[in-house]
Homo-oligomer: A and B are copies of this chain.
Amino acid sequence: MPTEFDLIRRHFSPPTPRTLLAGGDDAALLVPTPGHVTAVSTDMLVEGTHFLPGTDPRRLGHKTLAVNLSDLAAMGARPRWAFLALALPRVDEPWLEAFSAGFLALAAAHGVDLAGGDTTRGPLNLCVTVIGEVMAGNALRRDGAVPGDDVWLSGCTGEAAVGLAALRGAAATVDAIDEARCRARLEQPQPRVSLGVALAGLASAAIDVSDGLVADLCHLANRSACGIDVHWAQLPQSSALTGVDGKRRAAAILAGGDDYELAFTASPANRDAVLAAAQVAGVVVTRIGATVAGPAGVRVLDPRGFDITPAGGGFDHFG
């Protein structure tokens, strides 16, 4: 029977070139970059709540880190270090090998050191803390939008929600969706790290879209104390969703969740700079609306100006 220490050595001991001291001590030691502030986010993923039992472990390893990197991207922070605590019901070495391969491949792709963690026995639970850095004053907070800003969205929303419906067996009710693409969006989201870094100091506010587009824009609107008008006709529509009937498609796009795109605001004076930043990052961005003076909240408007905002919309673990 391998010990806890064997497990860590075998599966979670990648090179950590950016870390002064990683693993094997009471704490890791990191050297902060002068002139930068430190961005920290922590997320806990629980089997049965955040992912289905039997989820492919390599994809799960990827996603566990991806959702955290998405949070740092939404701050404009360059990710540097990750810490992984996991509770495992039993030692399943093939599972651990695949999980760590998925996790570490994404970490390596973004220059992130796995600098520490914890391994214990318990119901499957994955808790990641990521630490990034951004120049002081350039961080993308949720509270920086002002009325008259453009509202932008990276990529598109809705595919992951349709992927989840397909995974749950609803595919038969949906015509011609690109199921593989939608499942990949659900299970292997690509965090918008480069875009977030490129937008630091340029966007006025940002949030990562994980609980549904309208719900997350609401958080941004609340923190910035402004309204947001989203124009339905301007929202990017995934070609993978063309076969989905209108009502379900709208729900997926506006309230689907698990998109891990960035929604952000920027002054209209920065339009060209935003497009240039997106091009550098290799990500499509779309102007989907504008911030407005008035009570905090989000309205989705159809081409005639009618309010078609869905009721509810966000995901809440205890709602």
Contacts and interface: CB of A to CB of B under 8 A. Distances in A.
A4 interface: yes
Interface stretch (A135-143, A172-180, A268-276, A303-311): A135-143
Contacts of A136: 31
A83 interface: yes
Interface stretch (A40-48, A58-66, A230-238, A288-296): A40-48
Contact of A26 (B31, B46, B71): B71
A131 B131 CA distance: 11
Given A20-B37, A46-B87, A25 B122 contact: no
Interface string A294-319: 00000000000000000000001111
Contacts of A50: 120
Interface in A91-126: 91, 115-123, 125
A253 interface: no
Given A87-B125, A318-B4, A223 B40 contact: no
A61 B121 CA distance: 20
A263 B2 CA distance: 27
A74 interface: yes
Interface in A29-87: 29-32, 34, 36-44, 46-50, 70-72, 74-75, 77, 81, 83, 85-87
Contacts of A142: 24-26
A129 B44 CA distance: 12
B43 A141 contact: no
A118 B44 contact: yes
Nearest to A20: B37
Interface residues of A, number: 73
B21 A30 contact: no
Contact of A122 (B20, B24, B41, B123): B123
A139 to B, nearest CB: 6
A116 B27 contact: no
A166 interface: no
A207 interface: yes
A42 to B, nearest CB: 5
Nearest to A5: B316
A29 B37 contact: yes
B132 A129 contact: no
A3 interface: yes
A87 B43 CA distance: 11
Given A25-B141, A42-B129, 16 more contacts: A4-B319, A7-B318, A20-B37, A26-B41, A27-B39, A27-B75, A28-B39, A29-B37, A29-B141, A30-B37, A32-B37, A38-B38, A46-B120, A46-B125, A127-B127, A129-B129
Interface of A: 1-5, 7, 20-21, 24-32, 34, 36-44, 46-50, 70-72, 74-75, 77, 81, 83, 85-87, 91, 115-123, 125, 127, 129-132, 134, 136, 139, 141-143, 206-208, 223, 316-319
